[in-house]
Amino acid sequence: MKKNLITILLLSTFFGCNQNANQNEIDKASNNAEEVNSEKEMFAKMEADALKEPYTGIFANGMDSTDLFQIRSTGVSTLPIQRAAENFLSRLSASQIERTTFDIDDEEWRKWCNVDNGIYDRQGVSLKELTENQKNDAFKLIQESLSAKGLQLSKDIMKTDQTLKELNNGSLAFDEELYFLTIMGKPSDTEPWGWQLDGHHLVINYFILGDQVVMSPVFMGGEPIITTSGKYEGNTLFQDEQNFGLHLMQSLKPEHQKIATISNLKTENNNVAEANKDNITLNYQGLQVSKLSDEQKRKLLDLIYLYVSNIREGHAKVKMDEVLEHLDNTWFSWVGQINEDAVFYYRIHSPVILIEFDHQRVVGVPNADDGKPSKNHIHTVVRTPNGNDYGKDLLRQHKEKHHLN
């Protein structure tokens, strides 16, 4: 009898512990769900608040520029992009078409965010839901629009989301195919149109008018930057963007380093032109490029080209010609130290291009967050200041010329 009583007590304790453990798991899941919902609400509100303002663009206070962007011929055909878009659309079902296509001036352009899919709902069709033929057509559109380097970088960024999925117990918030495509306007060789790719750490806005292209805003980032396990072990991102920037800063004279430095303390995330930041005043800061030596200017142009060269070759040259026109009115600024192990932020800002590079705090890699920025999480942003993100200034001119409502 005594033995049976002990057994009953032990079983009661065992099952009681399991009940407590199960309850703890339920409580933990509930808390996580509440946190996710709270974050979703926060990002939804940020977007809604931003969209209350009509698009104006990023301008420097008191230094507004006009007539920077003109409708003109570049001599670089966009017909391959148009045909790829038409082929992509032709394979979609009626319901997919309805979700994927928008008017050329729809606010869908501005509905993008670099955060993961667990806390942000996207428009369009994802690569994950497409058939193999549809998926091939989607990548053909991206391929025709980007350089080989830009296409590979995009695919490598997608791979990091698979790695995050593996590191986070298969979380549905992450997936290498949760990248969403939308088409704005109707693919045409005379009328304005474009496309958007939107997903975690990868956002491309691509506007086309005739043979002109505007590829901005572009957000490219990743975590982890160097993958050390799993399906894509060895996948590595942004080493040139990181190292070229550091080497440029290290090449400056001490007095110029001092002028370029906004702060030598890098304790937080510093990007200022990410999602929902279409209409900001951003003054030029740091060191004006006119003060650089010819060799330092070459280093800067090499750094800028790393970002511009993600677009197809002919249009990359068109953009670099724009950059060269305004080179002496370009500014380089820095946050952080400049030793080889430093984490840092830099900004390149001219009337025709805005580039940001930022070492960010760890977010997705479990048990790695010490509250400090890390080389294992990078965000980059490319914008067109003075009102031409999303090709908005070209679209305005086109509508005025053709009296469109």
Q: Are 324 and 298 in contact (CB under 8 A)?
A: no
Per-residue pLDDT, 12:
36
pLDDT given at position 24? 54
pLDDT (0 to 100) of residue 211: 97
Q: What is the pTM of this model?
A: 0.91
Q: Dump pLDDT digits (tens) for 130-163.
A: 999 999 999 999 999 999 999 999 999 999 999 9
Please give the Cα distance from 340 to 350 (Å, whole number): 27
Measured CA to CA, the distance from residue 230 to residue 174 in angstroms comes to 14
62: left (phi over 0), alpha (psi -120 to 50) or beta: left
pLDDT under 50 in the chain at which residues?
1-17, 28-29
What confidence score (pLDDT) does residue 8 get?
Answer: 34
284 and 331 in contact (C-beta within 8 Å)? Answer: yes
- Taking the C-alpha atoms of residue 347 and residue 367, their distance in angstroms, rounded to an integer, is 30
The 10s digit of each residue's pLDDT in 56-69 is 999 998 766 778 99
pLDDT at 63: 67
Domain boundaries, the chain: 1-50, 69-230, 239-389
Residue 91, classed as helix, strand or coil, is coil
Q: Which amino acid is located at 75 in the chain? A: G
Measure the CA–CA gap between 302 and 391, rounded to whole angstroms. Answer: 25
- How far apart, in whole angstroms, are the C-alpha atoms of residue 133 and residue 129? 12
Residue 63: closest CA among 289, 326, 263, 278: 326
Position 107 scores a pLDDT of 97
Strands 202-209 and 261-263, sheet pairing: unpaired
pLDDT of residue 22: 57
- In this structure, are residues 130 and 105 in contact, taking their beta carbons and an 8 Å threshold? no
Question: Which pLDDT score, from 0 to 100, does residue 62 have?
Answer: 75
User: Is the separation of the CB atoms in 341 and 242 below 8 Å?
Assistant: no
- Whether residue 282 contacts residue 273, with contact meaning beta carbons closer than 8 Å, is answered with yes
What's the pLDDT score for residue 35? 67
| pLDDT confidence of residue 32 | 59
